[in-house]
Amino acid sequence: MKEREISALETALGYHFRRRAVIEQALTHSSQARELESQQAGEVKVRVNDNEQLEFLGDAVLSLVTSEELFHRFPQFREGELSKLRAHVVSERHLIRTAQKLELGHYLRLGRGEEKSGGRSKRALLVDALEAVLAAIYLDGGMDAAREFILREILVPELESMERGGGALPMSDFKSALQETLQGLGMTQPAYVLVQESGPEHNKTFTVEARLKTKNGEGAGEFVGRAQGSTKKTAEQDAARQVLAYLATRMQSTGAKLARGLRTDKK
């Protein structure tokens, strides 16, 4: 690859490679590698590395970082819900959008046959290249660099998009998750109150509060989640998410206090 192309790719990725060989391998398709091997003279041929092994590693890093982030973001989700959300985020249908945004097809090193067949725009090749590039970032800069790239380019934009659109995946069902959580704690269900409605008829913004009552149902409320959305449903879901985050923090605090008390009793 030319220096100019590498620099342009690094700008798109938001990452500067210290070892250029690793990013060049990440962009080398097997068709190009085998073609270069066939051009070698003599009986002993030197193997040319392609991006298949890096693709394998990148897939694993992507799965780990995604799993860890979803685990921390959604403590109220069950295993099945987390698995469903992760499967969506790492799916080809979602990853192709990131690969196209980064214009990875422009930088691929393809054999002549693959070039003629339109390899630069093939979904499978682009997604494989994205995973290989991710592995290259991991090998060159470590897990922190890979995590930053994944969160910025792959995970966070999709989660935000799903939240705005009120999608059907677990992310959008915070109200049901909150209902189950409160039932398990023996607490009353929250009240969802529309506190503000603004904007023109075709582009309204709704502000909703999820008011969590105290355990006996008395008082003004223990916690209020307040959120805005383009629909009441979206605003209610985000308000419910805030209440769930609050409950998770409170339960962690209660557990820590209980643990300290047990240690004190043993003394």
- Catalytic center residues: 59, 131
C-alpha dihedral, 129 to 132 to 137 to 143, nearest 10°:
130
Structure tokens at 6: 């590498």
Q: CB-based contacts of 208: which residues, under 8 Å, 6+ apart?
A: 192, 193, 194, 195, 226, 227, 228, 229, 232, 235, 236, 239
Alpha helices in the chain (DSSP H): 3-13, 20-26, 30-38, 52-73, 79-89, 92-101, 112-116, 123-141, 143-150, 156-165, 174-185, 232-266
User: Angle at CA 187, nearest 5°, toward 184 and 188?
Assistant: 125
DSSP calls for 230-261: SSHHHHHHHHHHHHHHHHHHHHHHHHHHHHHH
